[in-house]
Amino acid sequence: MTVPLVLASASPFRRMLMENAGLTFESRAAEIDEREMEAGLEGASPDQVALALAKAKALDVSQHFPGALVIGSDQTMSLGNRVYHKPKSLGEAKENLMSLAGKTHRLNSAIAFARDNDVVWEHVAHADLTVRTLSDAFVDRYLMRVGEKVFGSVGAYQLEGEGIQLFSKIDGDYFTILGLPMLPLLDKLRELGAIDG
């Protein structure tokens, strides 16, 4: 008998990735204050922040689904020790993009599985993205074209859209970039007997 799966997220992208992989699951958003949690993690590495948030989400939702395997995930974007957040204005989006220009930043995508209020597995995958040299004028035009979409992403870009024009090199898999590392997730689900292996 397979274990019921629950995705602790309201993200349409994460749901789509799991649906496309043929998984049967429920989804429920975790009720945690991510910014408040991050404030309590001062000094933690970007990996540690992503993992703490993924675990908190899985544990929060696990309370509502006894016996189910709950999948929590979170992603941080970092340049060195600086952790970025979703921009709140076009000015902030531009500032973030210009700070990434000519440099390689990292997406840290964490997954945690919880069952009956206990974390049973955790994993962090990385993708390294190199932003090409950008001019002020190009960034202004890019922001005008993509508009409010920039507020939906920490990096003010969507690789599946015009954001791809910002990059010169990408190391890492597509799923990690989207925030749900599917290959290690599926491996672990098979190992746990939660899906057909």
Look up the CATH number of the domain holding residue 36: 3.90.950.10
Closest CA to 83 of 55, 61, 110, 114: 110
- pLDDT-derived band of residue 159, with 50, 70 and 90 as boundaries? confident
State how far the Cα of 181 lies from the Cα of 132, in Å rounded to an integer. Answer: 25
74 in any annotated domain = yes
To the nearest 10°, report the CA torsion of 145, 180, 66, 38.
Answer: -70
Average pLDDT over residues 139-150: 94
The count of structural domains within the chain is: 1
Alpha helix locations (H) across the chain?
12-20, 34-39, 46-62, 90-100, 136-146, 174-178, 182-191
* Catalytic-labelled residue, pool 33, 47, 60, 74: 74
Q: Which amino acid is at 167?
A: F
Residue 13 or residue 47, greater confidence: 47
- Residue 35, domain extent: 5-191
Report helix, strand or coil for 148.
helix
Q: Is 173 a catalytic residue?
A: no
Quote the pLDDT of residue 34.
85
32 CB burial (10 A radius; 0-12, 13-18, 19+): middle
Quote the pLDDT of residue 197.
80
Tens digits of residue pLDDT in 82-102: 899 899 999 999 999 999 999
178 in any annotated domain = yes
Quote the pLDDT of residue 160.
85
137 in any annotated domain = yes
State how far the Cα of 91 lies from the Cα of 34, in Å rounded to an integer. Answer: 23
Tens digits of residue pLDDT in 36-75: 888 888 888 999 999 999 999 999 999 999 999 999 999 9
**Contact by Cβ (8 Å): 152, 86:** yes
